[in-house]
């Protein structure tokens, strides 16, 4: 049943863009909130996206952009309809899945926003190239969402976040104008960086409809190892040693805690663990030039690391299968976490040298206040930790309802006091609006609000995401 605003809106939409509003459009992965919406539109091309945006602007209907729906900060769901306002329209990119072109000799590909990250990676691989962005959710996450949230993942250490992999965009601005800027250029200094403004804006300044993406030639030699380290401080010294040995060839450097391994043992016992039960370990992947076999390079590195006491034990993958097994373990830590059921999750980053002190101080503070279990893991090479709390054995999530907020605030305070970030790679969405208000530099926040107000004066673009709606 449509309300009057929707009837006007429907009449203005391009023919055939509407889709049935099924529950899947209203979900987010952790199922903590349920979105609300009036209509779902799935345009087939950028002109239809522009037409939908213009129609929504005329009808003053909010737009909630939707990619693969894998975001973790509620950027893709609007749970509360503004009082008196019409329900928003969900703008799904699911039909814009074309590979517009690939130029392997240029290391460039142009993808529409609805291509999954996996599809982009596959398209590159089919032409002998690598699109290096890699996330656990890559089979579902769409490239438009990856850009709109500046996704990070496990290879950011070497290749950067999504931002660093984007050369140009096509996007629809809140007034329906289309930015056509799908350049295949490495250098283009012609005015303000509108591309990077839309990247990471989580759909609140416009809709990214396509992007030209940077590919790389896959390294001829790759190697993976799992290494037991004495503690996080040693892991950081080990990272510096790896960087010195590998000349930029460290692709990933992931920290794994003993609690993470224990959760895997508990929930996914079929996953093989090469270093079972160790308190701290690291998964390292390297990609190296022709003429330097990866196992040889890793062995030289490991010999020095063990001599210096930075590594206590280690396994270098002896086959592609074993390397895949190591990654399989790492990538199932979030799944094990889901099965245990987190009390609270924190996607934090810290200056590298602050990490050991933070892990020690925050761990002690948590132990002093609660019996919750802690799983601290993540992309150590980027200073990015997933710092998550779980119920003690025999208790459940709801038992911690009273202390959740205070624990999270304590953790964020300790992070921010060390020059860190309360959202390293997931974004702000609607979940972290309060954190942004509290922690962002005031002048930067004022500039953000001014830009939002000037580009989206009607406030229709992903209302309430990143910035709270302007108070009237």
Instruction: Choose, by CB under 8 A, the member of 24, 126, 240, 398 that binds its own copies.
Output: 240
CB of 372 to its own copies, least distance (A): 25
421 part of the interface to its own copies, by CB under 8 A:
yes
179 part of the interface to its own copies, by CB under 8 A:
yes
For the residues of 251-317, what is the DSSP string, one character each? EEEEEEEHHHHHHHHHH-TTS--SSTT-SEEEEEEEEE-TTS-HHHHHHHHHHHHHHTTS-SEEEE-
Of 26 and 53, CB closest to its own copies: 53
Residues numbered 185-214 forming contacts with its own copies, rule: CB under 8 A: 185-194, 196-197, 199-201, 205
User: Checking DSSP bridges between strand 178-181 and strand 166-172, what pairing results, if any?
Assistant: antiparallel
Of 278 and 428, CB closest to its own copies: 428
The interface region with its own copies, picked from 76-84, 86-94, 253-261, 343-351 by CB under 8 A, is 343-351
Which among 280, 461, 463 has a CA at the least distance from the CA of 376?
A: 280
What does the block give as tokens for 65?
């952009």
281 part of the interface to its own copies, by CB under 8 A:
no
306 part of the interface to its own copies, by CB under 8 A:
no
User: Checking DSSP bridges between strand 178-181 and strand 108-112, what pairing results, if any?
Assistant: unpaired
Instruction: Choose, by CB under 8 A, the member of 55, 108, 165, 275 that binds its own copies.
Output: 108
Q: How far apart are the first and last CA of the chain?
A: 30
CB of 205 to its own copies, least distance (A): 7
What CA–CA distance (Å, rounded) separates 86 from 59? 9
471 part of the interface to its own copies, by CB under 8 A:
no
Distance of CA 258 to the CA centre of its chain: 24
CB of 50 to its own copies, least distance (A): 10
For the chain, the residue count is 472
Residue with structure tokens 């090479």? 381
CB of 451 to its own copies, least distance (A): 6
CB of 348 to its own copies, least distance (A): 9
Q: Which residues contact 392 (CB under 8 A, 6 or more apart)?
A: 371, 372, 373
CB of 323 to its own copies, least distance (A): 16
CB of 339 to its own copies, least distance (A): 26
Of 78 and 198, CB closest to its own copies: 198
| Helix (H) and strand (E) counts in the chain | 15, 16
- Which 3 state secondary structure label does DSSP give 384? strand
CB of 190 to its own copies, least distance (A): 5
CB of 278 to its own copies, least distance (A): 24
Q: What does the angle CA 262 – CA 369 – CA 233 come to, to the nearest 5 degrees?
A: 55
What CA–CA distance (Å, rounded) separates 235 from 239? 6
Of 340 and 348, CB closest to its own copies: 348
Crossing angle of helices 258-267 and 333-340, in 10° steps, is: 70
439 part of the interface to its own copies, by CB under 8 A:
yes
127 part of the interface to its own copies, by CB under 8 A:
no
Asked if residue 411 lies in contact with residue 346, where contact means CB atoms within 8 angstroms, the answer is yes
The interface region with its own copies, picked from 115-123, 350-358, 389-397, 404-412 by CB under 8 A, is 350-358
Site track 385-404 with its own copies (rule: CB under 8 A), x = hit: --------------------
Alpha-helical runs (H) found in 40-131 = 46-59, 117-126
The interface region with its own copies, picked from 21-29, 91-99, 257-265, 295-303 by CB under 8 A, is 295-303
CB of 27 to its own copies, least distance (A): 22
307 part of the interface to its own copies, by CB under 8 A:
no
Which among 41, 25, 64, 32 has a CA at the least distance from the CA of 463?
A: 64
448 part of the interface to its own copies, by CB under 8 A:
yes
Site track 137-176 with its own copies (rule: CB under 8 A), x = hit: ------------xx-x---xxx-xx-xx--------x---
Alpha-helical runs (H) found in 81-226 = 117-126, 143-148, 156-159, 194-198
Of 267 and 421, CB closest to its own copies: 421
430 part of the interface to its own copies, by CB under 8 A:
no
324 part of the interface to its own copies, by CB under 8 A:
no
Alpha-helical runs (H) found in 177-231 = 194-198
Residues numbered 18-37 forming contacts with its own copies, rule: CB under 8 A: none
CB of 112 to its own copies, least distance (A): 18
């Amino acid at each position: 049943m449509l309300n009057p605003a929707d009837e006007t809106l429907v009449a203005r939409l391009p023919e055939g863009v509407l889709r049935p509003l099924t529950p899947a459009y209203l979900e987010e992965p952790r199922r903590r909130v349920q979105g609300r919406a009036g209509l779902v539109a799935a345009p087939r091309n950028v002109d239809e996206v522009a037409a939908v945006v213009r129609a929504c602007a005329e009808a003053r209907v909010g737009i909630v952009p939707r990619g693969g729906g894998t975001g973790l900060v509620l950027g893709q769901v609007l749970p509360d309809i503004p009082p008196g306002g019409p329900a928003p329209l969900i703008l799904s990119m699911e039909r814009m899945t074309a590979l517009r072109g690939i130029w392997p000799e240029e290391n460039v590909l142009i993808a529409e926003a609805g291509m999954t990250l996996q599809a982009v990676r596959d398209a590159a691989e089919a032409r002998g190239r690598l699109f290096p962005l890699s996330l656990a959710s890559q089979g579902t996450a769409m490239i438009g969402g990856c850009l709109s949230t500046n996704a990070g993942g496990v290879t950011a250490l070497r290749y950067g976040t999504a931002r660093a992999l984007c050369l140009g965009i096509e996007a629809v601005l809140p007034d329906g104008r289309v930015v056509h800027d799908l350049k295949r250029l490495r250098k283009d200094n012609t005015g303000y960086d509108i591309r990077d403004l839309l990247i990471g804006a989580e759909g609140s300044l416009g809709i990214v409809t396509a992007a030209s993406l940077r590919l790389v030639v896959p390294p001829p030699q790759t190697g993976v190892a799992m290494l037991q380290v004495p503690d996080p401080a040693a892991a950081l010294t080990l990272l510096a040693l790896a960087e010195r040995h590998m000349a930029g060839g460290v692709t990933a450097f992931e920290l794994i805690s003993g609690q993470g391994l224990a959760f895997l043992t508990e929930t996914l016992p079929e996953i093989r663990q090469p270093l079972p039960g160790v308190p701290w370990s690291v998964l390292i992947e390297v990609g190296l030039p022709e003429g330097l076999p990866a196992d040889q390079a890793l062995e030289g590195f490991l010999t020095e690391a063990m001599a210096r006491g930075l590594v206590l034990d280690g396994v270098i993958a002896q086959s592609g299968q074993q390397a895949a097994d190591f990654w399989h373990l790492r990538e199932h830590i979030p799944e094990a976490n889901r099965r245990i059921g987190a009390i609270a999750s924190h996607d934090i980053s810290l200056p590298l040298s602050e990490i050991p002190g933070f892990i020690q101080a925050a761990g002690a503070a948590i132990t002093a206040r609660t019996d919750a279990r802690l799983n601290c893991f993540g992309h150590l090479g980027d200073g990015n930790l997933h710092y998550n709390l779980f119920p003690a054995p025999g208790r459940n999530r709801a038992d911690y309802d009273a202390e959740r907020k205070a624990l999270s605030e304590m953790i964020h305070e300790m992070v921010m006091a060390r020059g860190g970030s309360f959202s390293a790679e997931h974004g702000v969405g609607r979940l972290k609006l309060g954190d942004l208000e509290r922690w962002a530099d005031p002048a930067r926040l004022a500039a953000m609000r001014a830009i939002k107000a000037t580009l989206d004066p009607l406030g229709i673009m992903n209302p309430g995401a990143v910035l709270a709606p302007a108070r009237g």
